[in-house]
Structure 1
């Protein structure tokens, strides 16, 4: 029996070749039809295009498109367009674009903190409904409706702001504001103390509050009495009663002559001595450099004075140097000093 034969079946070589060829052709036809069907079938979604003057960092083919926080499509193609613009092709799910029309706005926004970007669609003021193949032109007048908020744009803007704001003038303004704030510190402390006192008194019982205010009224009475005594003392001065003109003349001399003369004297002294005080600066600077370590110099000076005091004790007739000289065996010095005694 031949290799192409089957038991109980009458078949020859020519018939077997015909059946095999027909079966192979049928399989090829089915596969080609299935491929042609899928190639001609449109991808689901509504294709639209965006013509823009700039593309956000990280916006690539496959980037997600969101509307109201929901993914509604993706970027299918990015190609250069005329006059230096770019055309971004999108495929959107029209069932999720409720309320969006051709007046929509575009944001290049970061999807996370790792630099991955996405396109965010925002509703406009109202326009024509979106249709398949619509081209939205965001160049010229509508260029401001595209906002780049990607991480790269944020970092570049932060660098530009830092370079333009953090200037020496700004540092001077901050320093001046700090000085002014420090000048108002005592006033703020006084206000805080007053507020704290008021708050503490509000918490005190009424009986205790009146008890604390009692000595204040007593002190006020004493102050009023002392004031009346001072006024009475001034009114009862014999000089005012007997020689008021001379008293007024003395007061006028003090207020009209003496005090203005002192003011003029001190003003002239400040003007004339300013040069002398300027000369003291290098002198004091040189003295400061001569004693670079004041604490160590003070200790060494104290030790030197103690040793001098120990070497020259006070005998009642003045300090005497406490020293003993051994002159034995030196006759050239011993004889004149000791007068010849041995």
Structure 2
């Protein structure tokens, strides 16, 4: 039996070659038709492109595109464009693009708490309908219509705000506010004390309140008694009783002549010495600048005086300089000073 034969089937070589050729041609035809159909078939959806100056962190090929909270497409490609811009290719489901036209705005937003990014399309002011192959240019004046709200942008903004807010000037403002608040502390304490006093008095029984007010009436009585004593002392003065005219004359001299003369003297002195006092201001200012740190200067002066006192002790006849001079080897000076002793 030949190699192409089958048991129980009558077939010769020519017929086998014919059947094989027909089967191979049929397979080739089916494959070619399938490839041709795939090449001519267009992918479903509306392809558009976004030309932007920046791309949000985490926006990659395959990133979801949302509109009104619904996924309406995906990012199909990201490629560099002219003048340092980027072009993001999208394929959208045109059946879900309600209210979106070429005036739409773009947000790079986090899709969840893990920081995965997505593109959010927002409705614009109104424009032309979106068409296949539309390129929306978000550079130049429309650059502000692209908002980056991704997690990386939020962290960078927080860092920049920290650098700009937490400055030495802010620390100075906080310190000044703390000092001003501390200045109001006595007033707050007084208010609290007054409030506490009012509250305690409201809770005190009438008998205890009257008992606490008793010393005040006692003090008032003593003051009234002292006032009466002073009046009685003035009225019982011997000079007023025996020589009232001389006393009145002395009082009139003091009030009518002495006091007006003193007032005139002080007025003239103030007018004449005002220029002198003005001249003293720069002198006193210069003196104050000569001692910028009084405490340190006082300590240094005290130390200098103590050292002078230690160097010149008092021997009973006045301070004597405590010093020893070694004149060995200098006979020209030693002999006269020592009285001729070698």
TM-score norm. by structure 2 comes to 0.61
- The offset of 1:179, in angstroms, is 1.5
For 1:7 and 1:103, how far apart are their aligned partners in 2? 76
Corresponding residue number in structure 2 for 1:317: none
Corresponding residue number in structure 2 for 1:68: 68
Corresponding residue number in structure 2 for 1:44: 44
Alignment of 1:148 with 2:163, yes or no, is: no
**1:6 aligned counterpart, secondary structure:** coil
- Pair 216,115 (structure 1): closer, same or farther in 2 beyond 3 Å: same
Cα RMSD (Å) of the superposition?
4.4
Corresponding residue number in structure 2 for 1:80: 80
C-alpha contact 1:100 1:130 (8 A) present in aligned 2: yes
- The offset of 1:282, in angstroms, is 5.7
**1:136 aligned counterpart, secondary structure:** strand
- Pair 89,278 (structure 1): closer, same or farther in 2 beyond 3 Å: closer
C-alpha contact 2:291 2:297 (8 A) present in aligned 1: no
Corresponding residue number in structure 2 for 1:111: 111
For 1:212 and 1:287, how far apart are their aligned partners in 2? 59
C-alpha contact 2:65 2:118 (8 A) present in aligned 1: yes
- Pair 48,225 (structure 1): closer, same or farther in 2 beyond 3 Å: farther
Give deviations 1:28-67, integer Å, cap 9, x for gaps: 3223323332343332322221122222222221122222
Give deviations 1:61-90, integer Å, cap 9, x for gaps: 112222233322211112223333222111
Equivalent residues in 2 for 1:141-180, closer than 5 Å: 141-180=141-180
- The offset of 1:240, in angstroms, is 11
For 2:17 and 2:149, how far apart are their aligned partners in 1? 69
Corresponding residue number in structure 2 for 1:128: 128
- Pair 148,195 (structure 1): closer, same or farther in 2 beyond 3 Å: farther
Alignment of 1:281 with 2:277, yes or no, is: no
Corresponding residue number in structure 1 for 2:11: 11
Alignment of 1:238 with 2:234, yes or no, is: yes
TM-score norm. by structure 1 comes to 0.61
Corresponding residue number in structure 2 for 1:308: none
For 2:195 and 2:39, how far apart are their aligned partners in 1? 82
**1:15 aligned counterpart, secondary structure:** helix
For 1:157 and 1:42, how far apart are their aligned partners in 2? 43
- The offset of 1:213, in angstroms, is 5.5
C-alpha contact 1:240 1:247 (8 A) present in aligned 2: no
For 2:104 and 2:190, how far apart are their aligned partners in 1? 58
- Pair 240,70 (structure 1): closer, same or farther in 2 beyond 3 Å: farther
C-alpha contact 1:239 1:247 (8 A) present in aligned 2: no
- The offset of 1:231, in angstroms, is 5.7
For 1:218 and 1:124, how far apart are their aligned partners in 2? 83
Corresponding residue number in structure 1 for 2:311: none
Unaligned stretches of 5+ residues in structure 2: 241-246, 267-276, 304-342
Corresponding residue number in structure 1 for 2:137: 137
